[in-house]
Homo-oligomer: A and B are copies of this chain.
Amino acid sequence: MKLLKVDTIASARDKSVRVMQKKGIQTVYKKLLEAQGYILAGDIVSQEPVPAFNRSTVDGYAVRSGDTAGSSESLPVFLECVDEINMGCPAKKEIHAGECAYVPTGGMIPPGADAVVMIEYCEAFGGSNIAIYNPVSYGKNVVLAGEDIDQGEIVIKKGTRIRPQEIGAMASLGITEVLVFKPWEITIISTGDELVSPHITPSPGEVRDINSYSLYAQAQKHGLTVLNKVVQKDNEQQLKEAVMQAMQVSDVVVISGGSSKGKKDATNQIIDEAASEGSFIHGLALKPGKPTIVGYDENSCTLLTGLPGHPVAAMLVFELLVIWVWRHMTCQPADSSLFARITSNLAGAPGKMTCQLVKLIKQENGFYAEPIFGKSGLITTLTRADGYILIEENKEGLKKDEIVEVFYI
């Protein structure tokens, strides 16, 4: 029997990133309207200045600003309106001294003009005579071409998870197909003789399968694709077949349950056999999350992960390891987190990192993090949680009011 040395979460991440870098990460083009939530696979660089032409930010008269000097409520300046710019049309006629042109909000500023007087300060006086009651300075109410974005400027960075505003910005740049990282395709296998479908009323000793549902939704939340989810009895042969089949089509196979040292636990052995070079993680120095197995098969280029069967531990390890590796490889910025004061003393676990669920309480002087305890640690501790904190393995614990970093979950 192999000596099973556990890994810290940091070393497990390192090892997993290294094998997944051999595999590499694919990119794919998505239509702009379908790109929300995907991760940009390259910087978005503007091919043109934005705006493309000098535009008015108000409805009014485009003028040479010098012409309006000295105008006032009682002593207007009179200019001759020589053009009316229509939305969407080029402004071709040059404005000379003593002239102006009507321009709507967003309309093009005609050559010669360098400012716009808001329509509220103007009055039409028969024919083409316009009285201007307010002076404007150079550039007033005008956005110059390229003022918002220079040609060649990076507008959105690689690794950005695309939000509505990024979709709007790309529309403005004429980008209608977006190069994004191709989401990993995942198969989820939930194992255990006690598991029955949520559709069934369990008999004594049986429980409804949670993990294939929660991990499915968690993968989906982070933009990954779930090819298939199955519930499998703890039968080594059947489980092995399910894993081998999943490896042919998946980037990642997630097996939950069966990775601790109980009598019927077969996951470790199956991953060790299925992975071309055996499993390389045999437990995490993480509480909860110890019974975690990871291997990589070079033939099918598949990451094989055995997560704890415990629903909370399964979700936390999936988040801390699999999702972390995905985020890292797709150049996403660090997990969004915030600092908060812990509301009670909290013990660490000697030699292990502790992942503690917390509820956030917002106060004007900052956030407080209230630890969520639950003896059984069943899934409802997670429904009450806003996030989690990590207590380092070399730390005895936390003192009430100590500042902690809270990661959302």
Contact of A207 among B52, B209, B217, B260 (CB under 8 A): B52
B168:A217 contact, CB within 8 angstroms: yes
Contact of A176 among B85, B199, B409 (CB under 8 A): B199
Contact of A174 among B59, B104, B155, B208 (CB under 8 A): B208
Stretch at the interface among A179-187, A190-198, A266-274: A190-198
Interface size on A, residues (CB 8 A): 98
Q: A172-B207, A202-B52 are in contact. Are A163 and B91 (CB under 8 A)?
A: no
Cα A208 to Cα B323 with chains together (Å) = 36
A129 at interface (Cβ–Cβ under 8 A)?
no
A24 at interface (Cβ–Cβ under 8 A)?
no
A376:B57 contact, CB within 8 angstroms: yes
Stretch at the interface among A74-82, A143-151, A238-246, A348-356: A143-151
A205 at interface (Cβ–Cβ under 8 A)?
yes
A378:B50 contact, CB within 8 angstroms: yes
**What residues of B have a CB within 8 angstroms of the CB of A209 in the complex?**
171
**What residues of B have a CB within 8 angstroms of the CB of A105 in the complex?**
260, 262, 309
B309:A106 contact, CB within 8 angstroms: yes
| CB neighbors of B among A42-73 (8 A) | 50-53, 55, 57, 59
Cα A376 to Cα B202 with chains together (Å) = 62
**Which A positions have Cβ atoms within 8 angstroms of B?**
32-33, 36, 50-53, 55, 57, 59, 85-91, 104-108, 143, 147-149, 155-156, 163-176, 192-196, 198-211, 213-218, 220-221, 234, 260-264, 309, 311, 315, 337-339, 362-367, 374-376, 378-380, 382-383, 385, 403, 409
- What are 20 A-B contacts defined by CB distance under 8 Å? A32-B198, A33-B217, A50-B380, A87-B194, A88-B194, A104-B263, A104-B264, A105-B260, A108-B204, A148-B376, A148-B378, A149-B378, A164-B215, A165-B383, A167-B216, A168-B210, A168-B382, A174-B200, A174-B208, A339-B364
Known: A86-B205, A148-B378. 6 other contacts (CB 8 A): A106-B309, A148-B376, A164-B218, A167-B213, A174-B198, A339-B362
